[in-house]
Amino acid sequence: MSHGFYSACAEFHLWLSWLISVLCKFSYTMCYSLADSDCSPEAGRTSLSRRGASKTGSFKPKNTIVSNSPSTMTTKRRLLLISNSTLHGGGYLEHCQEHIVKFLGKQVKRVLFVPYALHGRDDYAKIARQKFESLGYGLDSVHEAENPVEAVQNCQAIFIGGGNTFRLLKALYDNNLIPAIRKKVLEDGIPYIGSSAGTNVATITINTTNDMPIVYPPSLHALGLVPFNINPHYLDPDANSKHMGETREQRITQYHEEQDTPPVLAIREGCLLLVEGDKATLLGVTGARLFQRGKATSEHDPGHDFSFLLAHS
């Protein structure tokens, strides 16, 4: 083959890579535009709201959804964001099961489970179903639904389990569930429970996950149910450790070296955050650390009021 042929192939490859990048960015923009509009069949009568990004690409979410109602949609927001599904010495969701029952209440009869963070979805759904049935709730898994979007639209509550955050977010995009979940949670006010990866995707982005990027979602921007990021499974630096790798504290600090990065609430295992409307309260048996760009890191015990984070922009 001639040198000219190889040069042409290289130029075509670069052009194709650029085109794919542009299409991915366009797909993300349209997805969030739809998330900020009325997602009903009458959505054509509602104008799409474009979401802004800074020159550095950081995301600044709005705290409300554009709808036909003038009321603030975040007043309906109800979230239970859990650091981990299993605490040492206990079973699946055992450490937080009382919080789950109190959170869901008696009006919820069935919960829609999202098992996308793990590869074995059938087995994962079986584990979750057994647990929720023991608490008095039926459980349907979205991966078993013929139409995942309709399953979300018709559900009474959502539980997104832990696993790999990149795999989870990619599946949410692949199944067009980002706008559907946002509408159900922020506009309709159904309860949302997230654990580990399910907590990560409830925030602005998954930039502060602990997971490896085993797959590539079209964007790191997530559901944006709260205007800050969370780091689940937070581990404190161990002064006696001989491990020479970066600590979690160092990695979050590096994240805040970038411009326009939101606060990061680092929640230890056994910790959870309850969000009801514009009020956020730390619950559980362990505390959390709050990282904010340009500010000293602060330590907080269960019971602390984090409502001010919901006003962050």
As annotated, the active-site residues are 196, 211, 233
CB distance 231 to 266 below 8 Å:
yes
d(CA 239, CA 243): 10
- CB contact at 8 A, 279 and 305: yes
Q: How many residues does the chain have?
A: 313
Question: Residue 306 corresponds to which tokens in the numbers above?
Answer: 């984090």
Ramachandran quadrant class, 273 (left: phi over 0; alpha: psi -120 to 50; beta: rest): beta
Strand partners, 280: 275
Burial of 149 (0-12, 13-18, 19+ CB in 10 A): middle
Q: How far apart are CA 290 and CA 263, in angstroms?
A: 7
At residue 291, φ and ψ (nearest 5 deg) are -105, 130
- Asked if 269 contacts 79 with a C-beta cutoff of 8 angstroms, the reply is no
